[in-house]
Amino acid sequence: MVEPSMLQEYLLRLGDNGLILAQRLAEWSGKAPALEEDMALANVALDLLGQARLWLAYAAEIEGPDASEDTLAYLRDAPAFRNLLLVEQANGNYAETMARQFYFDVWHKLLLSGLARSHDERIAGIAAKAVKEVAYHGERSAGWVIRLGAGTALSHQRMQAAIDDLWPYTGEMFTADALDQALIAAGIACDPAALHAPWLEKVGATLDAAGLTLPAAKWMQSGGKQGRHSERLGYILAEMQFLPRAYPGAAW
């Protein structure tokens, strides 16, 4: 039996990933290495934000009439967020941003493809629409991994370091807790463990094309889906939530 609160929790996980990663990418506005990249990152951020709104709006309907996508985005504290630890990691240099995006994009496309077959028609509809955008995101980030990995000695070094440093944050994408297992059994969620082999195949092929080395297996970070975050999320929320909290109920 899937309780409404369980479905809402799962929707928060889906929505918070896009919301927080969109905020991270928006930090590059006006600072990207080229004007074209400035615009491209902004567009990816807008895609993710649009997807986040759909997931959070659904979650808010389950919570009740006093909730909305805005209250869920702006009035929750860090422990109430359910995003993966990967998406809250700092932008760093451009190689680090692209490594983070690449890892996420490959997984995100696989996840949405699975959710497009969900028994929950609304989840299936959102996923089927979003996967078209995410397919482009993955092509773009993979292209940058290859471009930097096969570029200069310095870009290769930075790309390999980024791939290695962010690797411990990828394991969380493929672990299922009790909530996941209940929703999988109900045909609502897809099994994250089933995404690992195709994800690893795509990541490995891209790294080979870039002349990069797949990191060795190591201990993985976890806890983001359960609300245990790094201090980085607090700084993201402090900036993102400032105006709604400073001027509650304000309208423009």
Are 164 and 219 a contacting pair, CB within 8 Å?
no
pLDDT for res 66 = 92
Two structure tokens written together for 121: 């028609």
Mean confidence (pLDDT) of the chain: 96
pLDDT, position 45:
97
End-to-end alpha-carbon separation of the chain, Å? 42
Task: Compute the distance between CA of residue 94 and CA of residue 17 in angstroms, rounded to an integer.
Answer: 20
User: Per-residue pLDDT tens for 186-225?
Assistant: 999 999 999 999 999 999 999 999 999 999 878 899 999 9
DSSP H or E stretch at residue 191: none
- Which candidate, 243, 224, 235, 197, places its Cα nearest to that of 86? 224
- Give the per-residue pLDDT at 41: 93
4-213+224-246: which CATH number, 1.20.1260.10, 1.10.1740.10, 3.40.190.10, 3.40.50.970?
A: 1.20.1260.10
**How high is the pLDDT of residue 1?**
78
**For 107-114, what is the mean pLDDT?**
98
Q: Can you give 58-74 as a three-state secondary structure string?
A: HHHHHHCCCCCHHHHHH
CB-CB neighbours of 132 under 10 Å: 11
Mean pLDDT of 232-242: 96
Task: Indicate the SS3 state at residue 86.
Answer: helix
For the cut 90, the answer to whether the pLDDT of residue 80 exceeds it is yes
Confidence of residue 32 (pLDDT cuts 50, 70, 90): confident
Lowest mean pLDDT among 38-42, 92-96, 233-237: 38-42
Statement: residue 29 has pLDDT above 90: no
Contacts of 60 (CB under 8 A, 6+ apart): 67, 68, 69, 71, 72
Secondary structure of 131-168 in HEC code, one letter for each residue: HHHHHHHHHHHHHHHHHHHCCCHHHHHHHHHHHHHHHH
Q: Is residue 251 over pLDDT 80?
A: no
Instruction: Say what the pLDDT of residue 222 is.
Output: 95
Taking CA atoms, 3 is separated from 24, 55, 83, 87, in Å, by: 32, 17, 21, 28
CA distances from 193 to 125, 184, 210 (A): 23, 11, 26
* Element of type H or E holding 123: helix 121-149
Read off the pLDDT of residues 124-181 as tens digits, 9 standing for 90 and up.
Answer: 999 999 999 999 999 999 999 999 999 999 999 999 999 999 999 999 999 999 999 9
- Rounded Cα distance, 165 and 17, in Å: 20
Does pLDDT of 250 surpass 80? no
Q: Would the pTM count as exceeding 0.85?
A: yes
Mean pLDDT along residues 103-113: 98
